[in-house]
Amino acid sequence: MDYTEKYGLSYEELFAPVDHNDLESEKITAPRYSYWKSVFRVFFRNKVNIIVLTLLAVLVAFAYIYPSVIGYDAQVDPFVNINDTGALHLSPDKAINHFGFALKWIFGTGGTGASTFNSIWYGSRISISLAIICAAINMTIGILLGAIWGFSRKVDMVMNEVYNVLGNIPSTLITAVLVMIFSPSFWTLVFALTILGWMGMAYYIRTRVIIIRDHEYNLASRCLGTNIFKIAIKNILPFMTSVIVLEIAAAIPGYISSEVFLSYIGLGMSDISLGRLIYEAQNAMVTPGWGWEFWTPVAVASVITIVLYVTGQNLGDAADPRTHM
C-alpha cells in the first residue's frame, strides 16, 4: 500500500531516518519484569489468598491488639473470679447467663473462672511471637550456615560429622535439660528451640546448594572469574527464594505445634501460651460440659497454624518464577 497516497503526506513527513547506533542495537527488548511485583500479582490472582490474608489480619489483630485494648494483665486477669465458685468451668451459655453477654464470655470460662476468650488471645500472642522469633533465628542461621556448608567441601566434611552426632540427640532431651537448668521462661524456650533447631534448615539448604552448585552455568560463571559471593547471591539465591519461603511457611506453624507439644509433656513455659492453656485444660476435657475450655484453645491454635501455613505455601508458590508466566 502506498502510504503517501493514503495519508496525503509526503514521504519525508511520514518517515524520519534514524542514525545507526551500535549501542542501541545491542539492547534486547523484553516485557518489563519485576520479580516481587510478579510474586504479588500471582499471589493475589488466587482469590483464596485474599480470604486467608483477611483471616490472618483478624487473628493478628486479636492476638496483638485486643489484649492491649482491654488492658489484659497476666498477673491479675486469670484470677479475678477465682473466689466466685459459680464462675468456674462454665460453658459459653452458662457464662453468658452468669455474667451477662460480653464478647469475652463467648468461649466460657476456665478452671479459675477467667475468660477463656481473653486467655486464648493473650496466649496466642506469646505463641505466635515465640514461633516467629524462633523461625527468624533458625532460618537466618540455617540459610547462612547451609550456604557455606554447601559451598565448601572442607566445611561439608566437618559439618556432616557434627550433623551425624547432634542430629541424633533427641531434641526433647535438649529442650528438657535447658528448661530444667534455666527457669521455664519465654527466652529459655526460644534458646532451647534454636540451639539445634537451625540444623534441619542448614542441612536442607546445603543439599539444595550442592545440587545447583555444579550446574553448567555456575561452572561457566566460575571460569569467567565471578567471585563466589556473587555466584551465591546472583546465581543460586534466586533459585532458592521459593523453597526458603516454603520452609519458613512450614516452620512457623511448626514452632507453635512444638510449643503445644512441650507444654503437653510438662516442659512448657510458665507464661500463658496456647500450649499451656491446652495443657491445663486437658484434665477438664474428660468432665462432661467442661470440654469448651480444652477445645477452644485447640481450635484457635489449629486455625492460626492453618492460616499461617496456607499463606506461606501460597506465597512460596507465587515466589517460584515458573508460575509467573
Partner 1 sequence: MTKYVLKRLLHGAVSIILVVTTVMLLVYGLMDRTKIFVADGNYNKQANNNRVTYRYRRWEDFGYLDYVPYADYINELARSGELDEETRTEAVTLGRADDGSQDSETAARYIKEFTDTYTARGYTVTRLKAVVIRNKLADGGQPALFAYKDNSLLKRLWDYFSGLLFIDNIHYVPDDVDIGERGLTFTLYDPLYNPTGTEKKLSPAIIGNGTQHKYLLYFDDKFPYLHQNLLTIHLGTSFSVTQGVDVFQTMTQSQGSWTQSMVHYPTGTSTMSADNLHSATYVQGSLASNPLNAGKFVDDYTNVSANRVSMSRMGFSFLIGIISTVFVYILGLPLGVLMARYKEGLLDKIGTVYIMFISAVPSLAYIFMFKGLGRAIGLPVTFDMDNTVKLMYVLPIVSLMLPSVASMMKWMRRYMIDQMNSDYVKFARSTGMSETGIFFKHVMKISAIPIVQGIPGSLLFAMTGALITERVYLVPGAGGLLIDAINQYDNAVIVGVAMFYAILSVLSLILGDVLMATVDPRISFTSKDR
Using CB under 8 A, list all residues that contact partner 1: 161, 164-166, 168-170, 172-174, 176-177, 180-181, 250, 253, 256-257, 260-261, 264-267, 278, 285, 294, 298-299, 301-302, 305-306, 308-310, 313
Contacts of 251 (CB under 8 A, 6+ apart): 131, 134, 135, 138, 139, 201
What are the residues whose beta carbons fall under 8 Å from the beta carbon of 304, sequence distance 6 or more?
59, 63, 124, 127, 128, 253, 256, 274
The Cα–Cα gap between 306 and 52 comes to: 9
Cβ proximity to partner 1, 241 vs 302, nearer residue: 302
Least distance (Å) between residue 159 CB and partner 1: 13
Nearest distance from C-beta of residue 51 to partner 1, angstroms:
15
As a whole number of angstroms, the distance between CA 121 and CA 168 comes to 36
- Taking the complex as a whole, how short is the minimal distance between the CB of residue 285 and partner 1, in angstroms? 7
For residues 16 and 286, which CB has a smaller minimum distance to partner 1 in the complex?
Answer: 286
One-letter amino acid for residue 143 of the chain: I
Q: How far is the CB of 6 from partner 1 (least distance, A)?
A: 50
Report the residue number, 66 or 294, with the smaller CB distance to partner 1.
Answer: 294
Identify which of residues 113 and 253 has a Cβ nearer to partner 1 in the complex.
Answer: 253
- Cα–Cα distance for residue pair 127/119, rounded to 1 Å: 12
86 or 288: whose CB is closer to partner 1?
Answer: 288
| CA torsion, ordered 101, 104, 106, 111, to nearest 10 deg | -110
- Cβ distance to partner 1 smaller for residue 53 or 96: 53
Distance CA 51, CA 307 (A): 10
Residue closer to partner 1 (CB basis): 72 or 309:
309
Q: How far is the CB of 268 from partner 1 (least distance, A)?
A: 12
Smallest distance, partner 1 to C-beta of residue 199, A: 13
Q: Helix, strand, or coil here: 234? A: helix
- Cα dihedral across residues 259, 263, 266, 271: positive or negative: positive
Cβ atoms within 10 A of the Cβ of 299, count? 13
Residue in the block written with cell 540455617: 142
CB of 112 to partner 1, least distance (A): 22
